[in-house]
Amino acid sequence: MVFNDANFMLHNEPAKRLYQAIEEAPIFDFHCHLNPKEIYEDKVYEDIVDLWLGGDHYKWRLMRANGVPESHITGDAPKLEKFKAWIETVSKAYGNPLYHWSHLEMQKIFGISSPLVPEKAESLYYQLNQYLKEKRISPRSLIKAAKVHFIGTTDHPLDDLVWHKKIKEDSTFNTVVAPTFRPDEAFVEHPKFATFIQELEAKQDCKILSFKELILALEQRIAYFAQLGCRASDISFTEIVYEPVMEDELNTILLKAREGETLSNKEIYQWQTGLFRSLCRLYKEADFITQVHFGALRNTNTELYQRLGADIGVDSTGDQVSLARRLNLLLDDLVVNKSLPKMIWYNLNPVYNTVLANTLANFQDNEYGIHNQLQFGAAWWFNDTKKGMLDQLEVYANQSLLANFVGMLTDSRSFLSFPRHDYFRRILATYVGQWIVDEEIPADYEALGRFMKDIAYDNAVSFFVKN
């Protein structure tokens, strides 16, 4: 076996056979941060730095760890120098998933399988830029080459979705690009909450002086998203909470937050509970899948955040108390109020993997005529590693039915990130192949091939189909 060859990450003979069942499977990328405007305009890239390093906080974080000055990361250093700094960093990133991702991207997209080393950085820079120009590499060409059938973007609830409209009307482009409703700013702890309420009022031509009026305005926005093909929502919580609340209390919290008054932790928890419950009811009515990402402490480096803004690589894995109790209470509340939609839960702290998976199992239902209405989502962010994926797969298998898992996503802002699906598929093949080696399951390659295809693609398609 040679590094980055056809058998990369396939560590046993059954894995090689299992991988063949999914190697050419299309991609259903139901959660990412790609820009729909860039997809529609289909800009031809001329510099590899713009395509490979732009907006990639994973790489920025690693470069800072390697002592690269900010001028060569997010600053105004020449692009060649930025590229050299990245290659010097990734060349010694053994054990980091970026080492694998980067080499897979070079191999699968550009046909370059040799190791990334500083000595070849400058020549590689010019080689890649020449390739970009000659092959007219653009968002659409990358999407087509990767056989991406569906892309779920992440979108502000007040977005006009004009670029989604244009893509939908473009008969020359076959990939579905669907918006995802992401109302983070509707939660009172968000620094833009008061501004968001004002903008929502202007957008919907209404006054929002009560919780009921807020929900009505959000319902109208959800209906608008639905018209443009939205199939999912998303939300990011630092922690999962549950605090019973009455509507009059929510009205008081709304008015206090609008005026910029300091809220207690109890009030913040009450708002999160009340608003999320109401949103889930609306999502269920609209047949939106509810995606919940939780456990991230964001923008912890104040100096860099103030200078560069959010999503720059200064976030951490969080922790919390009483997750099991709070999550059970929250989900039970949704069931009692008949507001439990299809859901995918992504946990950032692997300590809670088992807690999350077995709690979700308490509330599974066949209401939608599908398997695993509540999904334990793919290894997310800091867990998007070989170890993190294996831990997630093992917990899913131990606590539920891995055969029903909706699989991988990119969660990326880069059009070069689609090989992450291939990375996951190789890890999955080795994981299942080892069961065969250990004689824990029969070597039924027909049944296991179906199992692999379901996780790689088909389960996601079935899960995201509107009822």
Q: Tens of pLDDT along 174-219?
A: 999 999 999 999 999 999 999 999 999 999 999 999 999 999 999 9
143-167 burial, b if ≥16 CB within 10 A, otherwise e?
beebebbbbbbbbbbebebebbbbb
E-strand ranges in 93-161 read 148-152
Given a cut of 70, whether residue 419 has pLDDT beyond it is: yes
Domains 13-45+138-464 and 46-137 share a fold: no
Residues 388-396 have a mean pLDDT of: 98
Q: Supply the pLDDT for residue 135.
A: 95
Provide the pLDDT for residue 365. 85
Instruction: Provide the token pair at 98.
Output: 């970026």
CA angle 340, 341, 343 (to 5 degrees): 110
Question: In this structure, what token pair is assigned to residue 419?
Answer: 């090989």
Helices (H) and strands (E) in the chain, counts: 20, 10
CATH superfamily of 13-45+138-464: Metal-dependent hydrolases (3.20.20.140)
Written as one letter, the residue type at 16 is: K
Which sequence spans correspond to the domains of the chain? 13-45+138-464, 46-137
Q: Mean pLDDT, to the nearest integer, of 307-335?
A: 97
Report the alpha-carbon distance of residue 423 to residue 104 in Å, rounded.
Answer: 8
Packing angle of the helix pair 419-437, 13-20 (nearest 10 deg): 130
Decide if pLDDT at 367 tops 80. Answer: no
Reported as a single tens digit per residue, the pLDDT across 261-277 is 999 999 999 999 999 99
Cα distance between residue 405 and residue 378, in whole Å: 9
The CATH number assigned to the domain with range 46-137 reads: 1.10.2020.10
Q: How far is it, in rounded angstroms, from Cα 161 to Cα 224?
A: 9
